[in-house]
Amino acid sequence: MMQAALSIGARRAESAGLWILAWRRFRRDRVGLVSFLIVVFFFGLMAASGLHLIAADWSKEVGVNYAPPTFIWPAIPEGGPVAPVAPEPSRGESTGGPNPAGPGDTNIVDPLADVLAEIRAESGSASIAEAQAPTLVFGGDRWGRDVLKKTIKGTETSMFVGLVAAFLAAFLATVFGALAGYYGGWIDDFFNWFYSVFTSIPYLLLILAIAAVLNQKGTLTVILILGLTGWTGIFRLVRAEYLKHKVREYIQAADAIGASHARRMFVHILPNVSHVVLVQLSLYVVLFIKSEVVLSFLGFGVGVDTVSWGSMLNEAQSELILGYWWQLVAATIAMALLVTGFSLFTDALRDALDPKLK
């Protein structure tokens, strides 16, 4: 009886772990929770688009060229398209051709009136616009494709590139930082020299130069360019954490019981520095999404058969001159929502994982 009471008291006195305390701090942050819901919503869009549940026919021509958004005005005026009426010539002017209908005949017979009336009767619509015009909430592009579906498909492409490239960069940075910080010596010197080579060139210029040299578009190419060049920031933090943890008592105890170097690096130390990698991973997802947009906007990103936010902005720059602004606005709103939500979520996650905050 006494032993049972002592065991219950011991379990109650046991302190909560890092992740439980982090969750308690995170759920008290309302801004963090709202941003987390925004991120989850975009992840759902990416998953649904990847499984072809939505926006599977984004490349299909479903409307007229540059169809305006239907939430502002209909794509076709009520009653069908209106043919322009030529002004009557003023007195003394000649039309330059014969007028077989006579000078006083202004009646124009529509040869398609019977066909249009039949379409209205079969569809039950009051106008040919209701019978034929598709519902394009954000309008159409110059090929008549739905801008809303393009935005959803662009969300899938941009988020996929950002996530995979961030995971690749975080993996390389963790391995390189663990080796450099744990072993030190010439291994540390080599990785520091490697780090200095990459950081000596501005990051944006570096990825643009590599993309121009490769001269090969595609999602995989963009992922490799971003992931293989973007590991330097995470490497610096992981190396510092390994330098700090390798001399602590629990690592010395692991050494005393005969644990191997690999076990000490990735079983004992890595769980204690994983929160740093997780926060940096979230930051780099946002960075790589913006980098992919820049590459695709400049023509070095995804291929012509793939849509992303960057390729939409590339198309929208010529459309904006003609007054067709809806593709630019759709891609900008989607990118601003995701980047802002992910940035606020990362800030809340960093605060929740900080053990110095109560």
Average pLDDT over residues 65-87: 57
More confident residue, 26 or 180: 180
Q: How confident is the model over 149-166, as pLDDT tens digits?
A: 999 999 999 999 999 999
User: Does 349 score more than 50 pLDDT?
Assistant: yes
pLDDT in the model for residue 17:
67
pLDDT of residue 129: 45
Give 354 or 133, the one with higher predicted confidence. 354
Give the model's pLDDT for residue 275.
87
The confidence score (pLDDT) of residue 128 equals 45
Q: How confident is the model at residue 345 (pLDDT cuts 50, 70, 90)?
A: very high
- pLDDT of 82 reads 44
Residue 300, classed as helix, strand or coil, is: coil
Alpha-carbon torsion, ordered 317, 322, 325, 326, to 10 deg: -110
Task: Please give the pLDDT value at position 14.
Answer: 58
Question: Strand, coil or helix: what is 103?
Answer: coil
State the pLDDT at residue 18.
67
| In the predicted structure, residue 213 carries a pLDDT above the cut 90 | no
How far is CA 45 from each of CA 77, 159, 197, 343, rounded to the nearest angstrom? Answer: 33, 10, 38, 18
Q: In this predicted structure, what is the pLDDT of residue 112?
A: 64
Which residues, 6+ apart, have CB-to-CB distance to 20 below 8 Å?
none
pLDDT in tens, 281-306: 999 999 999 999 999 988 888 887 88
Strands (E) in the chain, as ranges, are none
Q: Is the pLDDT of residue 106 over 90?
A: no
Average confidence (pLDDT) over 162-176: 95
Average pLDDT over residues 51-68: 86
Strand ranges inside 162-227, DSSP E? none
pLDDT at 305: 83
- Residue pLDDT, tens place only, 218-263: 899 999 999 999 999 999 999 999 999 999 999 999 989 988 999 9
pLDDT score of 166:
95
Residue 210 has pLDDT above 50, yes or no: yes
Of residues 313, 314, 308, the one with CA closest to residue 288: 308
- pTM for this predicted structure: 0.77
